[in-house]
Structure 1
């Protein structure tokens, strides 16, 4: 039985998970305003995201996806919705170390503003 479709599906799921994690890192502070318990998940996620960007590390989801894609071989057609729409968002052309530093700083600023607001509202 040919399992390449299963590896392809798993690789696509990793890309979706990766995208959702990135969105959570960027905007999860807004969710914390509503659900305070998410603070315990969001702060480590922000720390990880900023560290990966600032130190130019490779997220473990990337090698996992690459392994699954290699295991899948060809999927039968040259691309999917995930390949076409999500991969360029997660890995845009022209992503340089300098741009990565700016993105990391932007994440810190956005979440810093959200958490400053949260801190002020908790002190009242």
Structure 2
């Protein structure tokens, strides 16, 4: 029972990690210091997909499922809704590359917006200093 709960928790953590990697840059628009946490996680998440590595959360989940006597992902909200998003059927190497590139492009655009905003703020503050 505890191992099954822990496996579900790992899936939820995995899903939260994926969401943060893809969309965490939007949070960094509001809280720029979050970029110090987000960017290394983006590099890790994109790297997993681009290089074809296996995220360490996946084997951990499988070990916990086996310890709970489970063979697959049948039953429960997490298993029914989140698992297919994390482990879609028919996931190929090309899909992984596309996902890695998507994550990279989304975050380059978001961080480009952050950099532009910072440049504009600097220009405004320089303009105010020059006028005074």
TM-score by length of 2: 0.86
Using CA pairs under 8 Å that are at least 6 residues apart, name the structure with larger relative contact order, 1 or 2. 1
Distance 1:74 1:54 in 2: 30
The answer to whether residue 71 in structure 2 is matched with residue 66 in structure 1 is no
Q: Which residue of 2 aligns with 1:98?
A: 94
Runs of 4+ in 1 over 2 A off after TM superposition: none
Q: Which runs of 5+ in 1 are unaligned?
A: none
Q: Which residue of 2 aligns with 1:117?
A: 113
Q: Which residue of 2 aligns with 1:50?
A: 46
CA RMSD in angstroms, aligned pairs only: 1.2
Distance 2:100 2:64 in 1: 28
Per-residue Cα deviation, 1:17-40 (whole angstroms, up to 9, x for no partner): 000000000000000001111101
Q: Which runs of 5+ in 2 are unaligned?
A: 121-132
- Number of equivalenced pairs: 118
Mark the structure with the bigger radius of gyration.
2
